[in-house]
Amino acid sequence: LCKRGNLKQALQVLSQEPNPTQRTYELLIFSCTDRHSLSDGVRVHRHLSDDGSNQDPFLATKLIDMYSEMDSVEDARKVFDEIRERTIYVWNALFRALTLAGEGLEVLDLYRQMNLTRVKSDRFTYTFVLKACVASEGLVELLNKGKEIHAHILRHGYETNVHIMTTLVDMYAKFGRVASAAHVFNEMPVRNVVSWSAIVSCYAKNGKPFEALELFLEMMLAKTESFPSPVTMVSVLQACTALAALEQGKLVHGYILRRGLDSILPVINALVTMYGRCGKLEQGQRVFDQMKQRDVVTWNSLISMYGIHGFGNKAIQVFEEMIASGVAPSPISFISVLGACSHAGLVEEGKKLFNSMAKDHGMYPTAEHYACMVDLLGRANRLDEAAKIVADMRIEPGPLVWGALLGSCRIHCNVELAERASRRLFELEPTNAGNYVLLADIYAKNDMHRELKRLKKQLKSRALQKVPGRSWIEVKRKLYSFMSVDEFNPHTEQLHALLFRLSTEMKEKGYVPQTDVVLYDLSDEDKERIVLGHSEKLAVAFGLINTSHGEPIRITKNLRLCEDCHSFTKLISKFAEKEILVRDVNRYHHFQNGVCSCGDYW
């Protein structure tokens, strides 16, 4: 009856069965789970309790699994509380149920209680409790619990278990502890495709895309028992996206087609994003058009693609097409389309979209949405309106909102508002040197030397350091990385010589280095030398030497493009007759014939 789906009839027969066996109850529990019928599950549980079978550890485990599948973790906990003989299988079943429900803290508390009994952990226990460390979102202090469990694993000789060690890699990755994850991975005597996927994902999601791609190549050369999973391919595409590594991305696309992964939605969504952020809008649109199935993430990828390239009206058009197709926008849809409006200076359109969130879609703006509006108004030099948005917010303005306001003040040199935003940011993010640097730029541009000196003293006394500029360029399917101060790069001397020659020639044609971005007390000549060594200029020089005529130069920068690099690259594109694409932390800059696609609005 259960196998035929006649659960109601099976339950009627159960009431007439004088001696139900363990197998009887197991079939009924499986059937309740399969039909997702909580009421029938409770009925079977009641029958178990009536004849004492609820004390059977095997059946208790099955009941906990059933309740977990039906998202009824309270009932699962009742089963656990009722049983007197708690085997490791019963403990594991509850650990799994609570972890899936996001109750990581409760799992770790129960794990501590279990360790006080004579029940010994097995390989499943360790994987569940490690996952519990990251199940409770935002609880960074649980990292120490994870480290304790790691020590427990080593003490009990489980360091050779590939499943446990892979979960450990994943746990460290989710806390952003890349070095710890790499150490665990490197010490693993046996690795499988899941282990490789975990470490590639670790690097890709923690701001190390260069290393992620290197590891993926190593993974492809390693003899693993199976092929990379769709999850791995998404991580690899994200790494290509972060580096604007178009040629690498094309190779990955080819691999996806060969392995038949092109029907998996998250993989294709990542492909649309990759092409868009590598500057190939036509290819991104083509992948989108060929998709048989689309979700809101797909549409968001397309909206964002047009937005970062400055095509605000096109992004709005895609947003409207998404709604017309019956796909409801998500909060990220609004972040993407408002960001697009900001890059294109579409103030009124952005305000209309922002107001439609609550009015038409029943969605209350988050800090990210308010930050987009502040950025939109601030870039357009409507700073009073931006400040009013902050003052009228329904929620507490966080670092994102105050950071957007400070960034706008930097563009338009508004000292009063910048100081107000900075005071809040210094309280909210005391270790973020970037906020101090932005305010210092504003002081420098306004010739406020005394304030600048005071701010630099604060930076020094707090031992804060600005994130160093880093740029990547892909040439002949190989990635090269440049740092603003890079003593170890073998190409540096040759590149500096080329940049010096180009700078000298361009000065004769009107180029004036913008040295106000250098905050040190140095001579103008020394300041010029520093701006000439910025990482994106080194990458441009490398591209000029190593690319053929007519081949575009594609560069990714980890920070905002500075004003001097922007004007320098515009002139290079004209005098070297070269198409140069630079993606900074905010948007895409497409330089051609002395003009940038951003229209100097960034």
Count the Cβ atoms, other than its own, within 10 Å of residue 358.
12
- Report how far residue 112's alpha carbon sits from residue 107's, in angstroms, rounded to the nearest whole number: 9
- Report how far residue 574's alpha carbon sits from residue 219's, in angstroms, rounded to the nearest whole number: 42
Q: What percent of the chain has pLDDT over 70?
A: 97
Domain boundary among 410, 443, 466: 466
Question: Is the domain of 459 the same as that of 495?
Answer: no
Tell me the H-state helices in 466-551. Answer: 492-507, 524-532, 535-546
Count the Cβ atoms, other than its own, within 10 Å of residue 195.
22
Question: Is the domain of 536 the same as that of 585?
Answer: yes
Asked whether the predicted pLDDT for residue 337 surpasses 70, the reply is yes
Q: What pLDDT, on a 0 to 100 scale, did the predictor assign at position 44?
A: 87
Question: Is the domain of 462 the same as that of 480?
Answer: no
Indicate the pLDDT class of residue 224, thresholds 50, 70 and 90: low
Residue 574 covered by a domain:
yes
Question: Is the domain of 572 the same as that of 501?
Answer: yes
Question: Is the domain of 527 the same as that of 589?
Answer: yes
Domain boundary among 445, 466, 487: 466
Question: Is the domain of 489 the same as that of 551?
Answer: yes
Rg (CA), the chain: 29
- Report how far residue 582's alpha carbon sits from residue 589's, in angstroms, rounded to the nearest whole number: 5
Residue 415 covered by a domain:
yes
The two structure tokens encoding residue 440: 């210092």
**Residue 207 backbone class (left: φ over 0; alpha: ψ -120 to 50; beta: rest):** left
Asked whether the predicted pLDDT for residue 268 surpasses 70, the reply is yes
Find where tokens 């073998």 sit: 490
Residue 197 covered by a domain:
no
Asked whether the predicted pLDDT for residue 226 surpasses 70, the reply is no
**Residue 124 CA: distances (Å) to CA of 8, 57, 158, 174, 199:** 34, 17, 11, 20, 21
Question: Is the domain of 475 the same as that of 462?
Answer: no
For 557, the domain range is: 470-596
List the 478-483 sheet strands across, edge first.
Answer: 478-483, 470-475, 553-557, 580-583, 588-592, 595-596
| DSSP bridge pairs for 478 | 475
Residue 377 covered by a domain:
yes
- The least confident of 59-63, 187-191, 312-316 is 187-191
Among 210, 164, 203, 169, which Cα is nearest to 186's? 169
Q: What pLDDT, on a 0 to 100 scale, did the predictor assign at position 320?
A: 97
- Report how far residue 206's alpha carbon sits from residue 247's, in angstroms, rounded to the nearest whole number: 22
Q: What pLDDT, on a 0 to 100 scale, did the predictor assign at position 467?
A: 80
Pair 427, 403: CB distance under 8 Å? no
Q: What is the mean pLDDT of residues 231-236?
A: 92
Among 423, 452, 420, which Cα is nearest to 437's? 452
Domain boundary among 449, 466, 483: 466
- Report how far residue 595's alpha carbon sits from residue 602's, in angstroms, rounded to the nearest whole number: 14
Q: How many domains does the chain have?
A: 2
- Report how far residue 421's alpha carbon sits from residue 404's, in angstroms, rounded to the nearest whole number: 9
Asked whether the predicted pLDDT for residue 499 surpasses 60, the reply is yes
- Report how far residue 416's alpha carbon sits from residue 418's, in angstroms, rounded to the nearest whole number: 5
What is the pTM assigned to this prediction? 0.79
Helix (DSSP H) and strand (DSSP E) numbers for the chain:
31, 6
- The least confident of 232-246, 361-375, 402-416, 491-505 is 491-505
Q: What pLDDT, on a 0 to 100 scale, did the predictor assign at position 515?
A: 74
Asked whether the predicted pLDDT for residue 6 surpasses 80, the reply is no
Question: In degrees rounded to 5, what are phi and psi of residue 90?
Answer: -70, -45
Q: Where does residue 116 rank: exposed (0-12), middle (13-18), buried (19+ CB within 10 A)? A: exposed
Would you state the torsion angle of the CA atoms of residues 50, 52, 58, 60, taken in this order, to the nearest 10 degrees?
50
Pair 476, 443: CB distance under 8 Å? no
The sign of the CA dihedral 429, 431, 433, 436 is positive
- What are the pLDDT digits (tens) for 162-221? 999 999 999 999 998 999 999 999 999 888 888 998 999 999 989 888 899 989 888 888
Residue 496 covered by a domain:
yes
Question: Is the domain of 475 the same as that of 584?
Answer: yes
Residue 555 covered by a domain:
yes
Question: Is the domain of 399 the same as that of 452?
Answer: yes
Q: Where does residue 572 rank: exposed (0-12), middle (13-18), buried (19+ CB within 10 A)? A: buried
Question: Is the domain of 431 the same as that of 493?
Answer: no
Q: What pLDDT, on a 0 to 100 scale, did the predictor assign at position 225?
A: 64
Among 178, 185, 267, which Cα is nearest to 228's? 267
The two structure tokens encoding residue 180: 């710890």
Q: What pLDDT, on a 0 to 100 scale, did the predictor assign at position 602?
A: 67
The two structure tokens encoding residue 428: 């909210």
Which run of H or E residues covers position 308?
helix 296-308
Q: What pLDDT, on a 0 to 100 scale, did the predictor assign at position 102?
A: 87
- Report how far residue 547's alpha carbon sits from residue 553's, in angstroms, rounded to the nearest whole number: 7
- Report how far residue 477's alpha carbon sits from residue 490's, in angstroms, rounded to the nearest whole number: 19
- What are the pLDDT digits (tens) for 418-477? 999 999 999 999 888 889 888 988 988 888 988 988 988 888 888 877 788 889 998 888
Q: What pLDDT, on a 0 to 100 scale, did the predictor assign at position 97?
A: 94
Among 29, 97, 46, which Cα is nearest to 69's? 97
Which run of H or E residues covers position 459?
helix 449-461
Q: What angle do CA 246, 248, 250 make, to 5 degrees?
A: 70
Find where tokens 């693609």 sit: 305
User: What b/e sequence results for 404-423 when a residue is b if at least 16 CB atoms lie within 10 Å of its CB, and e otherwise?
Assistant: bbbbbbbbeebeebbebbbe
**Residue 130 CA: distances (Å) to CA of 3, 77, 105, 179, 387:** 36, 20, 11, 18, 44
Asked whether the predicted pLDDT for residue 502 surpasses 70, the reply is yes
Question: Is the domain of 498 the same as that of 556?
Answer: yes
Residue 248 covered by a domain:
no
Residue 186 covered by a domain:
no
Question: Is the domain of 441 the same as that of 478?
Answer: no
Q: What is the mean pLDDT of residues 233-259?
A: 91
